Amino acid sequence: MRAVENLSTISYRPPTERQFVWRIVDFVVAGIFIYAGALKMLDPVQFAHDTKNYQILPWTVSVALAFYLPWLEMFCGFGLIFRFFYRGAISILTVLIAVFTLATAAAKVRGLDITCGCFGHASQHWSFPAHLATNLGILAALLALWFSNRLARRM
């Protein structure tokens, strides 16, 4: 009787329009990070130099991050798409984009003329406002995904 009762409480709910929209946002944000990660993964030497140009970290740490961060971005991107370790992926990506944004802003304040390195050398000719706007847009999308996920889990 209990098994039947349990079965009767299970019901399939088709995704709502809202959930469908959030999945699109998942895919767009994931796509951005997978693309950015792949570009940097293909040329870690240049990414190490881009990181060094911020004049925050020692060279050895820049090299280590140049090898590590692209893979972290890509794994988290796939986490968003395939929904494995979803919350962990969103958290990591949010921290990464927040740090990138702060570092770019700090470099601007210090008068350093550098490329962000966010999209490898593909973004070398972007202006500072363009970099900032892109990063803030991605950050906003990640925060929105985080809160929508929390809300969905409570319901």
Partner 1 sequence: MKLSLTRQALVLAALSLLPAVGEAIYFRGKISWQSPIPPSEMVSVDQARAWGGNVIWVDARPDAEFARDHVPGAVSLNEDRWNELLPQFLAAWSPGKKVVVYCSTESCDLAREAAERLRKEAQIPEVFVLEGGWEAWLKKNR
49 part of the interface to partner 1, by CB under 8 A = yes
Q: Which stretch binds partner 1 (CB under 8 A): 6-14, 28-36, 50-58, 96-104?
A: 50-58
Residue 126: exposure state from Cβ atoms within 10 A (0-12, 13-18, ≥19): middle
CA separation for the pair 47, 66 (Å, rounded): 6
Q: In angstroms, give the least distance from the CB of 133 to partner 1.
A: 25
Question: Segment contacting partner 1 (CB under 8 A): 16-24, 28-36, 70-78, 127-135?
Answer: 70-78
User: CA 35 → CA 74, 83, 131, 139, distances in Å?
Assistant: 8, 18, 16, 16
Check residue 55 for interaction with partner 1 (CB under 8 A): yes
| C-alpha radius of gyration, the chain, whole number | 19
91 is an interface residue for partner 1 by CB under 8 A = yes
Give the integer Cα–Cα distance in Å for 51 and 128: 16
Binding flag, residue 67, partner 1 (CB under 8 A): yes
Q: Is 29 one of the binding residues for partner 1 (CB under 8 A)?
A: no
Return the number of the residue (16 or 55) whose C-beta is nearest partner 1.
55
Q: Determine contact, residues 8/1, Cβ cutoff 8 Å.
A: no
Is residue 40 within 8 Å of residue 66, measured between CB atoms? yes
Q: Does 88 participate in binding partner 1 (rule CB under 8 A)?
A: yes
Q: What is the binding site for partner 1 (CB under 8 A)?
A: 41, 44-45, 48-49, 52-53, 55, 59-60, 63-64, 67-68, 71-72, 74-76, 79, 85-89, 91-92
